Structure 1
């Protein structure tokens, strides 16, 4: 069973916060805690997770170390600088795991601070099917596929559409193989596994598992935090 095999979590938090109007989203306060602290906390709590690597922009390394000390992170073994792209940051973290007997890797966006332990556990169950699993929620809006001139080309059946989230969980050997074969820029890790022809299992996440990308999304996350505190 997976709980007898070593599991590492990678928290990818080296983004540039370009749409945050000068606010660093990773260290912005959500409730009374930084976004990054909230993102790491469920992985610290999850019994299945043995090791955590946090990837930050080079300018944030000192702040990350200070936060680790204040939060008393016990599973965080590495706080490392990220690369130019998100996938470069994940690749560097995967390289750090090469000397460890890791069977499973959980990749999570540091800008998703409201993930729950249950979503980590559900993912570890789902990933047993093929070695690759992605947290996601069914699409509720009608989606339009448009051409370059902004005219609608197609309206896909939304019953088959999901919004991908993180955590995304993989067998370590599989995600390493996917990254070794990577070309171009991708928006999430599962795309690289899909390119290998490996089936990726979707498991249900939560609309509350929001990603902080704008001041508006930070405000929405604040509402969720306050609601859960009531």
Structure 2
């Protein structure tokens, strides 16, 4: 069982262009409540000690009034504005933890548009990070994967058992992920940024720490398109959320 002190950074700054909606995907209603509510509730009801919510500057008041206060989410200690890209927003959350002088030893980074993170998954990640220092939730792929060349011809077929779909939460020792992000941001300022698409890649790029894969769930989907919202509604009804 996990023993450390944990903070969660929940990311809600994306605009969701693929949703074809004027409302950001994390604020669309799912079973009558904003998608973001479900992610926050999962961490509220978990062993996590505090939550930092990172959102668009224009959405801070909405999140405070219509989600945090309306649904009595008490572990959210700060709501901060995010940045241009996802990695900028994560760094904003990490900086807020530093500013608050948080006593958290570990940080869970989670996409607010993944409403079906649950307590069992959070516990699995916590148990793993206290052993390996870095871990991410994910699931083995069900389909055969092809690596295409620049002309879109199949160039490689990786062994299916070696390929995972990466999810969130992604969990790290706090100092490890903070220092790794500082290095990435320094690279960006010097014009030498390697594009990073998730937090694990930040650690993989600038440290020698290996990232452990932890079983997530095939239901732990990220709501990105209208079809995802329809699937999520089915999951909500099945889970009676």
Q: Could you state the TM-score of these two structures normalised by the residue count of structure 1?
A: 0.96
State the SS of the aligned residue for 2:235.
Answer: helix
> Could you list the per-position Cα deviations for residues 88-120 of structure 1 after superposition, in whole angstroms to 9, with x for gaps in the alignment?
011011011112222000000000011101100
State the SS of the aligned residue for 1:153.
Answer: strand
State the SS of the aligned residue for 1:77.
Answer: strand
Q: Which position in structure 2 is the counterpart of 1:63?
A: 62
CA distance in 2, matches of 1:201, 1:20: 31
CA distance in 2, matches of 1:63, 1:220: 26
State the SS of the aligned residue for 2:132.
Answer: coil
Equivalent residue pairs, number: 228
CA distance in 2, matches of 1:54, 1:219: 25
* Residue number among 224, 227, 238 corresponding to 1:216 in the alignment: 227
Q: Which position in structure 2 is the counterpart of 1:192?
A: 202
CA distance in 1, matches of 2:72, 2:196: 33
8 A contact 1:129–1:201 mirrored in 2: no
Indicate whether 1:29 and 2:39 are aligned: no
CA distance in 1, matches of 2:9, 2:220: 17
CA distance in 1, matches of 2:56, 2:194: 21
Shift of 1:180: 1.3
> Could you list the per-position Cα deviations for residues 41-60 of structure 1 after superposition, in whole angstroms to 9, with x for gaps in the alignment?
010000x2111000111221
State the SS of the aligned residue for 1:64.
Answer: helix
- Structure 1 runs of 4+ aligned residues shifted over 6 Å read none
* Residue number among 212, 215, 218 corresponding to 1:204 in the alignment: 215
Indicate whether 1:228 and 2:239 are aligned: yes
> Could you list the per-position Cα deviations for residues 148-167 of structure 1 after superposition, in whole angstroms to 9, with x for gaps in the alignment?
11011011111101000000
8 A contact 1:114–1:209 mirrored in 2: yes
* Residue number among 170, 178, 181 corresponding to 1:179 in the alignment: 181
CA distance in 2, matches of 1:209, 1:33: 18
Q: Could you state the TM-score of these two structures normalised by the residue count of structure 2?
A: 0.91
State the SS of the aligned residue for 1:88.
Answer: helix
Q: Which position in structure 1 is the counterpart of 2:188?
A: none
CA distance in 2, matches of 1:159, 1:214: 27
Q: Which position in structure 2 is the counterpart of 1:125?
A: 127
Q: For the aligned residues, what is the CA RMSD?
A: 1.3
